[in-house]
Amino acid sequence: MPDFDRLYLDTTILRKSNWPHVSAELGFLLELARNFAIEILIPEPVEIEREEQWIRELGAASQKWEAATAKRSDVLKAVGGGLDEQRADQPDAFRERYKTAAQLVKEANGIKTVPMTTRSPAEFFRLAVTRTPPFQIAGDKITGFQDATILLSIVDDLIACGKPSCALLSEDDVFSKIGAVSQSEGKTIRHLRTIEDVWKILSEEIRPELVKWWEQQRAAIKVEVAAQQEQISQLIGVFVTPDMIDYRARTVESVGLPRLISVDIPFPRFPLEPGPYPTREGTTHKISATLFVEVRALASRGLGGFAALLSGQFLDRSGAKAAES
């Protein structure tokens, strides 16, 4: 198992998925978490950030829509047409719809909310003036208050549940520099930038067992081939025709027992490639087996044979050793 069983999601991950919509990529992460018994958590500051982002995105889209609608109405006036006045829902109504959708997604996927930290302003101030990441200098200003709130909320949650370590999934590189804060609290927070990073860690956990299973399947196939040599020989005899052996062959006399040379099973995409892709119980795999079989056939003599025969007869008449036929 990985060295963490709690995975916290940052705002960048939710925004990429268009949260509360669950993209295919985020859905794959949630499926992985279920399979590996990893708890997915969203800090309350992240939820607040994402909600306000969504409201701003909606406002920007609405402005574009209203401008396009007005332009369309002006165009339609040329043919005596127009648009009926459409009253958009109030922002508060959209916000409630957002909250409802987000709650349903969390309940459906077992995602929990981590309470916001209750640390004092004095502690935030100390981290800011000492430029302790996630606080950092941007131009002539110090930024990082929101990220620090997210970080300390995670630390407080680890303290509350008694966990020594966790992972934080965020595309924000500032979280790769948070060692000073987490270590001072006696906690280890592993920063992962992408869902594929999570995938690599988890796939390495199961890869040895998968390789073991793969080798077992190859060994089992070899045993099956050895146990059914006669049946395989008979099957080959049904399908092999003389012209498949040689253009001079007239009849197939016998087919020997097969000797297995190699067995190849294409290695499953999992865990070499990240998903998502469909999985199911009882899945089947295509196998390839290379066999050596000796086939004896009766053939008519070709031109080369006649030439050898004539040459042998000539040598025989001259007293030399006769050529074997």
The interaxial angle of helices 44-76 and 145-161, nearest 10 deg, is 140
C-alpha distances (whole Å) from 269 to each of 37, 49, 64, 231 are 22, 37, 43, 33
- The DSSP H or E segment spanning 211 is helix 195-227
Beta-bridged to residue 168, according to DSSP, are 8, 191
Amino acid at 78: A
Determine contact, residues 236/66, Cβ cutoff 8 Å. Answer: no
DSSP string across 68-88: HHHHHHHHHGGGT------PP
Tokens 């146990």 map to which residue?
227
Direct distance between the N- and C-terminal alpha carbons of the chain, in angstroms, rounded to an integer:
71
**In which band, very low, low, confident or very high, does the pLDDT at 157 lie, cut at 50, 70 and 90?**
very high
Segment among 116-125, 159-168, 263-272 with least mean pLDDT: 263-272
C-alpha distances (whole Å) from 144 to each of 162, 172, 298 are 27, 11, 86
pLDDT single digits (tens) 27-84: 989 988 998 899 999 999 999 999 999 999 988 888 888 888 888 777 777 676 655 5
Is the model more confident about 234 or about 49?
Answer: 49
Taking residue 195's Cβ as centre, other Cβ atoms within 10 Å add up to 21
Beta-bridged to residue 90, according to DSSP, are none
Domain ranges of the chain: 6-193, 207-316
**How far apart are alpha carbons 142 and 139 in whole angstroms?**
8
**In which band, very low, low, confident or very high, does the pLDDT at 142 lie, cut at 50, 70 and 90?**
confident
**How far apart are alpha carbons 65 and 83 in whole angstroms?**
13
Taking residue 211's Cβ as centre, other Cβ atoms within 10 Å add up to 11
Residue 99 confidence (pLDDT) above 60? yes
Determine contact, residues 230/268, Cβ cutoff 8 Å. Answer: no
Average pLDDT over residues 299-315: 55
The interaxial angle of helices 195-227 and 229-239, nearest 10 deg, is 90
Helices (H), 77-135: 91-109, 121-129
Residue 85 confidence (pLDDT) above 70? no
Q: How far is CA 15 from the centre of its chain?
A: 20
Determine contact, residues 83/73, Cβ cutoff 8 Å. Answer: yes
Tokens 């990240």 map to which residue?
274
Q: Is the peptide bond before 276 cis (omega within 30 degrees of 0)?
A: yes
Is the model more confident about 106 or about 234?
Answer: 106
pLDDT score at 303: 53
Is the model more confident about 292 or about 316?
Answer: 292
Would you state the torsion angle of the CA atoms of residues 101, 32, 11, 189, taken in this order, to the nearest 10 degrees? 140
Alpha-carbon dihedral sign for residues 123, 127, 133, 138:
positive
